[in-house]
Amino acid sequence: MADLRIENSYPGERLGRPASGSGSVGRAGRRLAAIAIDWACAVVISMAFFAYDPMATLAVFAAVQIVFIPTMAGSPGHRLVGLRLTMLDGGWVGLWRPVVRTLLLGLVIPAVIWDPDQRGLHDKAVGTILVRR
């Protein structure tokens, strides 16, 4: 039986994204670096103000995501590694999408399950994509 799947030559091709450069899908290395930067900042703030309470760290991490994504098109980690979060059509993400995306990100599992375009379930659920600036 013939395989009827259409293979993409690069992540984001079927979404009309370029293979590389500005607007291309953010790859795993940059994404992991961004979340590590954001988490490290949340840990430092938690240590300074909350005696390193794990729940406070998670709350700080979530607050940073929810505040910076709609205002700067990405978290500080995203911006430092050259990524931005946008709608699939390139529009503004609005106010509710960062909240839902962050709640799903906090569950971890939706963020580590990716489609062939390297979009996590948390991004697919709200219609966003993480791309290079």
DSSP result, 60-120: HHHHHHHHHHHHHSS-HHHHHTTEEEEETTS---TTHHHHHHHHHHHTSHHHH-B-TT--B
**% the chain with pLDDT above 70:** 95
Question: Is 20 domain-assigned?
Answer: no
Helix (H, G, I), strand (E, B) or coil at 34: helix
What is the pLDDT of the chain when averaged over all its residues? Answer: 93
Q: How far is CA 130 from CA 2, 57, 79, in A?
A: 34, 23, 11
pLDDT average, residue stretch 34-57: 96
Count structural domains, the chain.
Answer: 1
Question: Is 71 domain-assigned?
Answer: yes
Question: Is 69 domain-assigned?
Answer: yes
Range(s) of the domain holding residue 122 = 26-132
Residue 102, number of CB atoms within 10 A of its CB: 19
Question: Is 15 domain-assigned?
Answer: no
Q: In angstroms, rounded to a whole number, what is the distance separating the alpha carbons of residues 28 and 62?
A: 20
The bridge status of strand 83-87 relative to strand 128-132 is: antiparallel
**% the chain with pLDDT above 90:** 87
Question: Is 60 domain-assigned?
Answer: yes
What is this structure's pTM? 0.89
Question: Is 39 domain-assigned?
Answer: yes
Question: Is 44 domain-assigned?
Answer: yes
**Encoded amino acid at 19, one letter:** A
Question: Is 13 domain-assigned?
Answer: no
